[in-house]
């Protein structure tokens, strides 16, 4: 079981992701924006973070950069889950420090597999 922080400003997506990951046996802390995600990570360092890119306040890209800049969090695997699907968006996301980039609409099964793969590679 892993501890995972999920941030998405869309309640339905956030609940879907949290539900899928909890059915895989993970403990999920779901928040509504990137700033809350970074705060949740600092309060209790998780095993993985899933971030939407487009959120009010602190975006997912800004949150990844803050996570990578924090020595206590920089090792965390980060997945960006977003509707931004242009090649330049993917490049920007990966260059910001994300380990994986998944576009919406997404398959919850594929998300679960990607999470498990990243967790296994860090074990």
Residue 122 lies in a domain: no
* CA 50 to chain CA centroid, nearest Å: 1
Number of domains in the chain: 1
Residue 68 lies in a domain: yes
Residue 56 lies in a domain: yes
Region of poorest pLDDT, from 32-36, 92-96, 110-114: 92-96
Residue 90 has pLDDT above 90, yes or no: no
Residue 123 has pLDDT above 80, yes or no: no
Say which CATH number the domain at 81 has: 3.40.50.2300
* CA 112 to chain CA centroid, nearest Å: 12
Tens of pLDDT, residues 1-36:
999 999 999 999 999 999 999 999 999 999 999 999
Residue 84 CA to residue 120 CA, distance in Å, equals 27
Sheet of strand 27-31, all strands in order from the earlier edge strand to the far edge = 27-31, 3-7, 48-51, 78-82, 100-103
Q: What is the CA radius of gyration of the chain?
A: 13
Task: Write down the pLDDT at residue 83.
Answer: 84
Task: Write down the pLDDT at residue 37.
Answer: 98
Residue 38 lies in a domain: yes
pTM for the full model?
A: 0.95
Domain that holds residue 108: 3-115
């Amino acid at each position: 079981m892993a501890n995972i922080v999920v941030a998405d400003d869309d309640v339905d997506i956030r609940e879907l992701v949290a539900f899928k990951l909890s059915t895989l046996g993970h403990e999920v802390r779901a928040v509504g924006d990137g700033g809350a995600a970074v705060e949740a990570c600092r309060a209790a360092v998780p095993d993985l973070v899933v971030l939407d890119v487009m959120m009010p306040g602190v975006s997912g890209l800004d949150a990844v950069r803050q996570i990578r800049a924090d020595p206590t969090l920089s090792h965390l695997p980060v997945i960006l889950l977003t509707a931004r699907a242009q090649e330049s968006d993917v490049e920007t996301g990966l260059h910001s420090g994300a380990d994986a980039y998944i576009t919406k609409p997404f398959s919850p099964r594929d998300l679960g597999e990607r999470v498990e793969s990243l967790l296994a590679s860090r074990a």
